[in-house]
Chains A and B, each alone.
Chain A
């Protein structure tokens, strides 16, 4: 009954590969986000979706393509992975009009 769930938890892959991370929330929220946390724990917003529509794309390379098939899902596809993509990626959600974010447990991506 996890509120925001991400899969996989760990992802180890070679440079140049394409990979996807999935996120689902069962809270009935209509806004979802992807954040990237680097090795120094700095969290940076990547994308924001509201009702399946892209609201924010924060200067993320176009190798990163989010997809929201419905309000409960926001997936992240990454093409041609690079070493610098290694980080922990967090999905989060919230209900429009409320300030509190609910986070998934993160996907640790390691690009070798």
Chain B
């Protein structure tokens, strides 16, 4: 069954603006990951946040986790055209598999 649900489904912004994507999940987790998928390519790991963490930073990425609300957000600051991609959250499932949400398609226009 699907665990993560991202919103919005699609987001269109201008270069330099910030992009925020949200993810909600249903069951308790040990960690939550975010992945990026460029068109026609495989997914690439961006960042992982553990269940005992509330916020994590990596370069222009900021991830928050609220386990009481079962939600996470990914913020990309000062976006660039190269950030155009689909972004997925993933939660750890049974037997160490990852369950992915439906993704947010981000379009950054120059």
Which A residues are within 8 Å of any B CB, using their own CB?
A: 4, 31, 33, 35, 40-43, 45, 48, 55-56, 90, 92, 94, 96, 99-106
B34 vs chain A, min Cβ distance (A): 11
Which chain B residues numbered 14 to 54 have a C-beta less than 8 Å away from chain A?
31, 33, 35, 37, 40-45, 48
Q: Which residues of A have CB within 8 Å of B98?
A: 45, 101
Whether a CB of chain A sits under 8 angstroms from the CB of B99 is yes
Out of B42, B95, B105, which one reaches A106, CB within 8 Å? B42
**Are A99 and B48 touching (Cβ within 8 A)?**
yes
B91 vs chain A, min Cβ distance (A): 11
Whether a CB of chain A sits under 8 angstroms from the CB of B2 is yes
B: interface residue count bin: 20 to 34
Out of A41, A55, A56, which one reaches B102, CB within 8 Å? A41
The complex places the Cα of A100 from the Cα of B47 at a distance, in Å, of: 9
Out of B37, B41, B45, which one reaches A100, CB within 8 Å? B45
Q: Which residues of A have CB within 8 Å of B33?
A: 99-101
Whether a CB of chain A sits under 8 angstroms from the CB of B86 is yes
Closest 6 CB pairs of A and B: A103-B42, A43-B100, A103-B43, A100-B45, A105-B42, A45-B97
The complex places the Cα of A41 from the Cα of B41 at a distance, in Å, of: 12
A48-B97, A99-B48, A100-B33 given; A42·B102 CB < 8 A: yes
Pairs A–B under 8 Å by Cβ, sample size 9 = A45-B93, A48-B96, A56-B97, A99-B31, A101-B43, A103-B42, A105-B40, A105-B41, A106-B40
